[in-house]
Structure formats: structure tokens, C-alpha cells
């Protein structure tokens, strides 16, 4: 009954979402392999080996899935792994990080009956593994009808969803009843899943797999990055990762200029979240009197140095944090939920962030409690905090030990999640 109403609503709202989908296919980011969005996935029929289908939305979920997929590859040598993403950046990340572990990469289909059936007919997964909160009623119903397992790993319910979901609890209950097991990130997330209709007997708090993934980006040293980016030897370095709006960048640049007034050698490495904004960020820096170099232009083939760098390359930020003395992570100075704090902490770096961290609430709370993460709201507060740390190398050494310990203490979620998948198979 609920599925019928759900599909009726999709049909009634088609004049709104169909033009959007067509626009994404014709002119937007869905042009690449667009037919897969409608179920024509580029996967051959099964050749005798059972399959597991793993799905993540975008970059963050894909990185969180990376250590789980590696464990599954070892635990399930006779299975084929199919990995899907919704966004092209997620697909690019998956192709780069998981090529050796995954057999097939596809785009996630629209949750309409014909697209879901076509995809499942081709993949025929023994288990459908969804990361975080990827719940789609048609997909879950079809997978259950075919006798396949449905598992949620790294499960989380955001603060926003927790506020809004009770209005449509009947829909969440219908979807969660089609889920065999949930590996929740925290007790808070487990309680929220149960409140929305999940069975308490089919949920376990396994931790956050991003603690495991964070330690996978430690391969390049600070000296290597300093040379690659042509940063002057001995100069303090501020790395700003994953900014998402001009207001965030203005705040960061204001703070940086205040820092530079006291420590004029301080370098800035700024990585906007979306690479299509690099030109916009470059113009903003130039208007403020700075001379930025793009990462793709470096190293400089001379004795000159770069003091301000914009990261315009894909997939390097997690490793690049190693060159920082202090890190600022964007996405939280505006009400956007924050971005990944795990990676700089794994490098032992002190991290500043804004007040809007609802998508990373647990790690933000842990970082503040451990004295390795610092919430600020203004450029003045940010500059003051950065200067305090740059003037106190002993405090930075202490934070480095505490941050690395925080990450290591919470490792192991990936292995637990993979073992649960194996058990249900």
C-alpha cells in the first residue's frame, strides 16, 4: 500500500523532477554514462560468482567505504563486488581508490520501478550494502522481493533528518522494515533508527569507518609536500580544506591576513570543496591583494616560492594536510553541516571549524573534548587561535599526540562492518 502511494506521488510530481533529470542528462553532470541512471548498467550478467552491490552517494561516503571494501575483498574472494555512486565526483573517487578491489563500477539508478528492476536484473546481488542513510523504497522492496539481503553500514541519521523524519515516519518505517541489519555509527544514530521504525534486534553500534579511512592518507610527508608546492622552508603553513561558499573564504582570508600581519612568512594552502569554484576563489584572493598559485602549476621551476596556493587537483587534500602546522576545515562556517575532520586529525594537526557541524557532530564533539579541535565563529577568533598555536610549538606537539591517539582509539569499525556482511551472506 505504502509503495503504491509512493509511486503515485512520484508520478504526480513527475512534472517537477523529470525536467530536472533531463536537464542533468543533457547539460549537467549526468551526461557521462547517463543510461545507467535508467537501469542500463554496464555490468555483464553473472557468470557463476555471487555478487555484492555496495552503494555510496558521493566522495565522503566513498572514502568511508574504502576500508570496508578492502576487508570485504579479503573475506569474500569468490564474490564479485559492484560499486555504485550517485555523483560523478564519487565515481571518480571510487575508480581511483577502489580499482583493485571492485569488479564493476556503475551509477546509481533513479528510484523508479523500471530503472530499479533493470539494474537488479543485471547485477543480481546476493546482498545490497548501503552506506549511511541511502534509503529508497522501490530499490529496497525489489531487493527484498528477490530474496536478497539489505544491509546499512556506517549508518547515521543527521540532526536535520531527525527533526524532519517523524513527519513521514510511516515511510521510514516501511523502508527500514526491508533492511536486514544496520551498523550504526553511534548510540545516538542507533536510537534514531529505532525511533523511525528499525527493529532494535537488527541494529548494532559498530563505530565510524572514517576513523579507519583517515589513516590511509599518510603516505606523503610534510617535506615532500613543501617541495611539491614550492613553499619556503621553515615558513608556517595554514591549510584550509573544503570551503564551500565565498563567505567562508572571505572569513578565512580575513583571518589569514591578520595572522600574516604578525607572522608575515605564513603560507596559505586553500582547497575549495568543488573544483569548479577554483577560478572564483582565485579572483577573491587577488582582490584581497594576494598572489595565488594553482597546485597544477607547481612546483615552480626556479628559486622562487609560492606563499598562497589554491588546490585545483582532485584527491590530494587528505594527504596534503601533512604539510600544515594548523588546519581549518570549511563547510561549517555556513549552515552546511561541516566537512571531514578525520583526515587532518589523523595527521596530528590542530583543527579549526565553524559552529555548524551537524553532519560530523560526533567527531567534532570528540575533537573539542580532546583539546585538538576548536570551534570558532569569526575571523578574529580564528586568527587569534591560529596565532596562539603558531607561537607555541610545544602545544602543537601535544595536540599531535592527542589527535593521533583519538583516531587510533576509535579504529576497527570497518572490520566489524565487513564481518557482519559476511555473516548475513
**Catalytic residue ranges:** 61
CA–CA dist 348, 344 (Å, integer): 7
- Other Cβ atoms less than 10 A from the Cβ of 198: the count is 25
Residue 128: name the closest of 116, 113, 140 by CA: 140
Residue 361: name the closest of 216, 187, 226 by CA: 187
C-alpha count within 13 angstroms, C-beta hemisphere, residue 58: 8
CA–CA dist 168, 154 (Å, integer): 23
Find the DSSP H helices in 76-195.
88-97, 113-123, 137-145, 159-164, 169-176, 187-195
DSSP string computed for 293-358: EEGGG-S-SSS---SEEE--SSS-HHHHGGG-SEEEE-STTTTS-----HHHHHTT--EEE-S--G
CA–CA dist 78, 98 (Å, integer): 17
User: Residue 157: which residues within 8 A CB-CB, separation 6 or more?
Assistant: 133, 165, 189, 192, 193, 196
Burial 241-257 (b: 16+ CB within 10 A, else e): bbbbbeebbbbbbbbbb
User: Residue 269: which residues within 8 A CB-CB, separation 6 or more?
Assistant: 229, 231, 237, 238, 239, 240, 309, 311, 320, 323, 324
Q: What angle do CA 88, 39, 52 make, to 5 degrees?
A: 80
CA–CA dist 282, 291 (Å, integer): 9
- Other Cβ atoms less than 10 A from the Cβ of 143: the count is 23
R_g (Cα) of the chain, nearest Å: 23
Amino acid at each position: 500500500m505504502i509503495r503504491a502511494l509512493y509511486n503515485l506521488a512520484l508520478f504526480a510530481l513527475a512534472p517537477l523532477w523529470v525536467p530536472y533529470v533531463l536537464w542533468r542528462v543533457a547539460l549537467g553532470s549526468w551526461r557521462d554514462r547517463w543510461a545507467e541512471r535508467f537501469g542500463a548498467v554496464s555490468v555483464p550478467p553473472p557468470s557463476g560468482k555471487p555478487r555484492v552491490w555496495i552503494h555510496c552517494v558521493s566522495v565522503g561516503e566513498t572514502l568511508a567505504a574504502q576500508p570496508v571494501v578492502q576487508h570485504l575483498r579479503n573475506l569474500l574472494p569468490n564474490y564479485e563486488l559492484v560499486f555504485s555512486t550517485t555523483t560523478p565526483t564519487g565515481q571518480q573517487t571510487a575508480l581511483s581508490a577502489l580499482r583493485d578491489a571492485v569488479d564493476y563500477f556503475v551509477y546509481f539508478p533513479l528510484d523508479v520501478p523500471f530503472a530499479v528492476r533493470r539494474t537488479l536484473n543485471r547485477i543480481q546481488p546476493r546482498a545490497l550494502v548501503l552506506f549511511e542513510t541511502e534509503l529508497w523504497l522501490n530499490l529496497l522492496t525489489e531487493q527484498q522481493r528477490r530474496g536478497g539481503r539489505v544491509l546499512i553500514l556506517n549508518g547515521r541519521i543527521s540532526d536535520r533528518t531527525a527533526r524532519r523524519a517523524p513527519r513521514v515516519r510511516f515511510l521510514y518505517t516501511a523502508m527500514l522494515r526491508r533492511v536486514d541489519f544496520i551498523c550504526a555509527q553511534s548510540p545516538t544514530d542507533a536510537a534514531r533508527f529505532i525511533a523511525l521504525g528499525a527493529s532494535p534486534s537488527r541494529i548494532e553500534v559498530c563505530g565510524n569507518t572514517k576513523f579507519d579511512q583517515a589513516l590511509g592518507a599518510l603516505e606523503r610527508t610534510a617535506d615532500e609536500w613543501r617541495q611539491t608546492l614550492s613553499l619556503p622552508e621553515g615558513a608556517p603553513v595554514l591549510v584550509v580544506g573544503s570551503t564551500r561558499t565565498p563567505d567562508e573564504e572571505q572569513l578565512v582570508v580575513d583571518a589569514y591576513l591578520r595572522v600574516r600581519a604578525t607572522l608575515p612568512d605564513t603560507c596559505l594552502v586553500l582547497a575549495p570543496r568543488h573544483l569548479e569554484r577554483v577560478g572564483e576563489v582565485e579572483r577573491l584572493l587577488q582582490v584581497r591583494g594576494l598572489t595565488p598559485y594553482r597546485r597544477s602549476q607547481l612546483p615552480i621551476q626556479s628559486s622562487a616560492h609560492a606563499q598562497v596556493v589554491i588546490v585545483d587537483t582532485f584527491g590530494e587534500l587528505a594527504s596534503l594536510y601533512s604539510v600544515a602546522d594548523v588546519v581549518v576545515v570549511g563547510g561549517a562556517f555556513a549552515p552546511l553541516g561541516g566537512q571531514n575532520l578525520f583526515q587532518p586529525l589523523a595527521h596530528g594537526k590542530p583543527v579549526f571549524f565553524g559552529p555548524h557541524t551537524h553532519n560530523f557532530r560526533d567527531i567534532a564533539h570528540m575533537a573539542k573534548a580532546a583539546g585538538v579541535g576548536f570551534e570558532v565563529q569569526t575571523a578574529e577568533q580564528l586568527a587569534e587561535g591560529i596565532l596562539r598555536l603558531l607561537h607555541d610549538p610545544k602545544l602543537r606537539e601535544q595536540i599531535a599526540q592527542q589527535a593521533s591517539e583519538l583516531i587510533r582509539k576509535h579504529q576497527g569499525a570497518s572490520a566489524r562492518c565487513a564481518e557482519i556482511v559476511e555473516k548475513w551472506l
